[in-house]
Structure 1
C-alpha cells in the first residue's frame, strides 16, 4: 500500500526539504505567515519520515506523538508514498481559479483507496499534474510537477501552473504519481490577457463573457444554473458572489422539518456547520451536484465570501458570538473565532483561490486587470471587517444605519477600493466591474429596509458614490448577489431625483446588476407564486427611483458580455430546479454603453419575459 519513491529529489530529503508539500498551496494558505495556525510542512515531513523508519527499525526506539491537529501539519519529501490507488473524487472534478496572465491555480481532490473503513492517515498521497495547449495533452507540456496531499488538508491538492502565455486556453490533468494510468478527466482553463493588452485585442478580439452566480442551497433544489452556464453560454470566466455553500443557521437547521426538501432527495448531511469537519463535509456534498461539476470543468472561477454562517459580521453571526461569559449558549456549538478560522481554512482547501496577503489570512479582496478592457475588483462585504449587522434578535441596526463611522468594508479595504478605482481610470481601463455580495442600491420595502445589505451602511455607500463622482470615474458596474432576487438599477445617491432622472437615467454614475439565487428561497417568500411576485416587483420599481427592473420568482444567474463599446447583461431563469435539467429562458436583457454611466433606454429594450420594469408600458412576453 506504500512504496519507495524513486525520484532522486525525494531521496535527498535534506537537500530538497518539503518541496512536494509546499507545492500544494492548500497547506500554506491562508495562514502561511502564522506559525500557530498554519500547517508546518517540516513537521509533516518529519512525521512521515518517522513512519518510513518504522518500516525497517524496531518501533520501540521511537516515541509516538499525537497526530497534529488541524492547526498542525504538512508533509513533503517523505521516502514513502501511497501506492494503493487513489480516487479523484466528485467524478474526477478539477477546478481552476484566480487566473493571471502567466499562471492559474489548479485544484483536485485525491482520496486514497483504503482497505479499511478510512484512508491510512500515516502515508502521503502523491499527485502529478500537467498542462498543455493541446486538448489531448499530446503536445508540448508547458508546466508539470508533483505535490503531496494528506488528511491534514482533506486530501485536496491546489497547485499553481506557471510559465503560461497570456489570454490563452489550456488543458490540464492530474494523475497518480505511482500509477500514471490513474488519471482525472482533462480539464479546461485559460489565462487572462496581460494588463497592457489593448482593449480591442482582449480575448482574441472577441467579446469577454462572465457568468455570475450567488447563493446555492443544496436542499432547495438542483444547481441547474451552473449547468446552463457551462453548456448553453459562451462564458469565459465564472464569478461567484457569496454563499457558494450555505452554512445553515438555526432558522434552517437540518434537524428541523424539511418535508419540501426531502421530496426532491436533497437533504444536507451533518449538522449546522461549526467545525473544520462540518465545513469540509458541506463543501464535499455540494460538489456532488452534476451541474456544479460541469461548470467547474468548463473554465476558471473567481470567487469570494467564505461563508461562515448566516448574518455574519467581523465578530459574530446570528447564532455564534464571542462573549465574556463564553459561548456555551451557541446552537452551533462553537465560539465565533474558532468557527470563522475553520470556515476560512476549509474554503482555502476546497476552492481555487489565491492567498492575497500572507500577513492577512482573512483578506480575499483583490483585483484582476483584464487587459485594458476591464478591471474586475472583488470585495469582501461579509467577513473581513464588517460592523455588526441585523442578527434577527436585535433591531438596533435600524437606528445605526446612518452612523458616519459605520463600515461594511473596514477602513483598509475601503481605501484600497478607492485607490484601485482611481488607478484603473488612470491606466486607461475601459470598464470597472466591482464584484461583491449584497445589494448596493437602496430598496425601500414600504418603509422597511434590509439593513443586512448596503441599506444598513449608508454612509459607507455614500462615500463610494462620492468617490465615483469626485474622481470622475466612469463606466462603473457593481455586481451583487445574496438577495435571492433580481434587481437592475442605475447608480445614484438614494432619493436624489434632483441630480438623477429615473426616466432618462441622466445624472446616474454607474449601473448595478444584482442577481437572484441559484437555489436559495426567493426574497419574496418560499411559497410565492409568479403572479404575486410580479405584483410585488411592480410596487418596488414604482417606489424606488433608481430601481429599473425587479424579478423575484425564478432562480437563476446572469451573464455579462463585455466589449469596447458596451456591456450586455442577460438574466437567465431556471424553469424547474426540482430535477436536474438545462431548461432555462432569458427573463430580461440590458445594455450599458461605454461612457453613458446608465442603463440604455428604453431599459431592457422595453421587453421582458418576467418581473416588472419601471416603465408601465413595457409588455411582458410569454
Structure 2
C-alpha cells in the first residue's frame, strides 16, 4: 500500500503543489492581515511543502503502521471529486459546533457583489498530524432552501496554524440582495454547518429611495461586551427582535482581563491576554455565548476594534500595563512585550472575525468606507490602535495638560486626511447620510470627575479639525456612532460651548448628531449596578452641564438601532432587563 502512495505522489506532484496551495490561499485567514508581509503571514508554499513531506514520511514507515484508513485518490479529485478516501486531507470528521457553540458561522464586510463567509472547522476526535489539513466546502444560494445551483462554491483548507478558522470570499452576487450559505466537510458532504443568512449592499449609484427595496435600512450598533460582566443578551435580542440589515460593532468585542464572572456562570478561561494562544482561547470562549453566536449567523457584521481587543487604554506605542521597555514586558508570565502582544491580538482578530484586509501593505489598517447606494456612506474609523497619540494610562497625569495641543491626533495624519476626503466625496456623490462608526464619545462631556481625556475630550484640536471640515464644506447629515463609555448619550454635533450660531433648544446650527450606545454587558460607568432612578439623576445633571448633550441614560446594558431612509434617521435604544442570566 505504501508503494502505491509513493507512485501516486510522484506522478501528480506538480498538480498537488498547485492545487494544494490554491486551497490554502483561498482561506484568507492564512494571509490576513499580513498579505504583503510574508515574514509575518503564513507562507502557504511552506504549508504545502510540510504537507508533501508528511506523505514522504509515511512512505518511510513500516507497512504494519496504521494509515488510519487513508488510501490514495487525492488532489486530482479536487473541485467535485470524492474526498472520502484521500490520504492527504483529514477525513475523520469535522465539528462545526466547537465547544458549546451551536451556530459557528458568520459573514461580514459586504460589498455590492461579494461577502466574506467564516466558520471554524475543528477535527472531530483526536487532531491529525499538523501536516494534514481539514478541507471545507462552502456554498452560497439565493434561496433559504439552498436549492438549485449555488451562486458561488468552492473548497478551502484550514489547519491548526490558523486555529482551524476559515474565511473565504463569496463572489458572483447581486447588489442589495439576500443570501443563504453553508459549509460542509469535503470528505463527507453529510457533515454540514448551520445555514447562515447574509446580504450585500446596494451599488453606489442606486438612488437613495431604492436602497433596500425602498424600506428603511437598519443598522444594529453594539460595543463593549465583557464576558465576566454578563451574558450577551443584546446580540440575541437584536437578532431575534429587530429587522437589522447589518450588525455594526464599534469595538471591545473581547476583553483581555479576567474578573470574577463565576457567580453568574461567566468565569473567564486562561490569563490576561498576551500571546496568540491567549487571544485565540478568549475569542473561542466568547463565541460560545448563545446570543453572540446566533447574531453572527443571522446578519453580516461590519466591525472595528477598540482598546480591549489588545489591552486596556491602548495607543500606538503601548497600553496601560505594557510597552516595549523591560518593565513593560514583565506584566505577563509569557514575557510578551507590547509589539508582540499587539501583533498576536491583530492576527487572532483577523482569524476569528469576518473582516477584510483593507490594504495589503498596511497590516493595521481597518479604517474603510462602504458606499451603500446614494443613501449613505458608512465610514468606519480606528481611533485607537492605528496611530493614536498617547492617552491616559492612569499614572501619566500630564495628559489633561496636553489635551489642547494642536498636533495631537486620534487617527494619525494619513487616516485623518483620508477621513476628510471621504466626507467630502460622500457629499459630492450625492449621498444623503454620512454615518461614521468609531470607538469613543465625540461630544464634549463634562461629568462629575471632569473630562474623559481617553475620549475625544483628550484630543480637542483633532475634534475641532473634524467639525471645521464639516462646517467649512457644508457637509450636513453627518451621524457619528460611538461606544466605549458604557452609557447612552445623544448629542448635537457643534463646536463645544458655542451658542452664537448653534441653538441647543431647536438644534439649529448643528452640523449633525452623535448617537453613543451603552455596553452589551460591561459595567456602567455611572456605577456598578446603578438603578435607573439614580442613573437618571446623574443624566439630568450631565444634560444641564453640557450644551450639546440632549439625552443620557446610564443604568441599562443594551444596544441601539439606526434606521435610515432618504428623508429621516431614527435611533431606537434597546435596554436589557438583566445580563446575569440568558
Q: TM over 0.5: same fold?
A: yes
Whether the 8 Å CA contact 1:195–1:372 is kept in 2: the answer is: yes
Matched, 1:101 2:112: yes
2:539 is the alignment partner of 1:537: yes
The structure-2 alpha-carbon separation of the partners of 1:17 and 1:176, relative to structure 1 and needing over 3 Å to count, comes to: closer
Contact 1:320 1:332 in 2 (8 A): no
Q: Pick one of 177, 194, 197 that aligns with 2:186.
A: 177
Question: Structure 1 runs of 4+ off > 6 angstroms?
Answer: 6-11, 76-79
SS in structure 2 of the partner of residue 210 of structure 1: strand
Match of 1:149 in 2: 158
The alpha-carbon distance between structure 1 residues 9 and 242, as it changes in their structure 2 partners (threshold 3 A), is farther
Residues in 2 aligned to 1:501 and 1:241: alpha-carbon distance in whole angstroms: 30
Number of equivalences? 551
- Give how far 1:263 is off: 1.6
1:566 match: 568
SS in 2 for 1:91: coil
Q: Structure 2 CA distance, aligned partners of 1:545 and 1:450?
A: 17
Q: How is 1:394-405 mapped onto 2 (pairs within 5 angstroms)?
A: 394-405=396-407
| Alpha carbons 1:149, 1:156 under 8 Å: kept | yes
Describe the superposition over 1:268-324 as per-residue Cα deviations: whole angstroms up to 9, x where unpaired: 101001100111011000000111111111110000016100100000000011127
Q: Could you tell me whether the CA contact under 8 Å between 1:319 and 1:331 is conserved in 2?
A: no
Aligned partners of 2:327 and 2:559: how far apart in 1? 43
Pick the aligned partner of 1:206 from 215, 227, 235.
Answer: 215
How many Å apart are 1:231 and its aligned residue?
Answer: 0.5
Offset of 1:329 from its aligned partner?
Answer: 5.1
What's the CA shift for 1:540? 0.2
Deviations 1:195-251 (A, max 9, x none): 111111101111101000000011111111001100100000000001011112xxx
| Secondary structure in 2 matching 1:494 | coil
Cα deviation, 1:38-82, whole Å, max 9, x if unaligned, reads 1000000000110012222359xxxxxxxxxxxxxxxx9996000
SS across alignment from 2:181? strand
In 2: Cα distance, 1:546 partner to 1:173 partner: 47
1:269 is matched with which residue?
Answer: 269
Task: Verify the 8 A CA contact 2:443 2:548 in the aligned structure 1.
Answer: yes
Partner of 1:62: none
Partner of 2:68: none
Q: Report if aligned partners of 1:49, 1:79 keep a CA contact under 8 Å in 2.
A: no
**Is the aligned partner of 1:511 residue 2:525?**
no
- Paired position in structure 1 for 2:37: 34
Match of 1:483 in 2: 485
Name the CA shift for 1:224/1:36 in 2 (closer, same or farther; >3 Å). Answer: same
Contact 2:103–2:297 (8 Å) recurs in 1: no
Q: Hey, what does 2:137 align to over in structure 1? A: 128
Is the contact made by 1:113 and 1:119 (CA closer than 8 Å) also made in structure 2?
Answer: no
Supply the distance in 2 between the matched residues of 1:407 and 1:314 (Cα, whole angstroms). Answer: 11
**Counterparts of 2:13 and 2:434 in 1: how far apart (Å)?**
47
Instruction: Using the TM superposition, give the Cα deviation of residue 120 of structure 1 relative to its aligned residue in structure 2, in angstroms.
Output: 3.7
Distance 1:266 1:333 in 2: 27
Instruction: Tell me which residue corresponds to 1:291.
Output: 291
2:390 is aligned to 388
Cα deviation 1:517-576 (Å, max 9, x = unaligned): 000000111142222211111100000000000000000000001000100000000011
Q: 1:181 to 1:106 in 2, by over 3 A?
A: same
1:423 counterpart residue number:
425
Instruction: Note the C-alpha offset of 1:504.
Output: 1.1
Partner of 2:24: 21
Alignment partner for residue 360 of structure 1, among 344, 359, 362? Answer: 362
Match of residue 50, structure 2, among 43, 47, 68: 47
Tell me, which stretches of 5 or more residues in structure 1 are unaligned? 60-75, 581-622
1:575-594 alignment to 2 at 5 Å?
575-580=577-582
Q: Distance in 1 between matches of 2:478 and 2:418?
A: 16
Equivalent position SS for 1:25: coil
Tell whether the 8 Å contact from 1:125 to 1:150 is kept in structure 2 after alignment. Answer: yes
**DSSP 3-state at the match of 1:409:** coil
Q: Assess, with a 3 A threshold, how the Cα gap between structure 1 residues 530 and 119 changes in structure 2: closer, same or farther.
A: farther
Q: Does 1:242 align with 2:245?
A: no
Is 2:173 the counterpart of 1:160?
no
1:445 aligns to what SS in structure 2? coil
**Is the Cα contact below 8 Å between 1:214 and 1:244 reproduced in 2?**
yes
Secondary structure of residue in 1 paired with 2:274:
coil
Q: Where in structure 2 are there 5+ consecutive unaligned residues?
A: 63-78
1: CA distance, partners of 2:562 / 2:477: 14
Superposed CA RMSD in Å reads 2.2
Alignment correspondent of 1:593: none
Counterpart-to-counterpart distance in 2, 1:10 and 1:220: 53
| 1:69-115 CA-partner distances (Å, limit 9, x unpaired) | xxxxxxx9996000001100221411000000000000000000133
Q: Return the alpha-carbon distance in structure 2 between the equivalents of residues 124 and 548 of structure 1.
A: 55
State the distance in 1 between where 2:238 and 2:436 align: 21
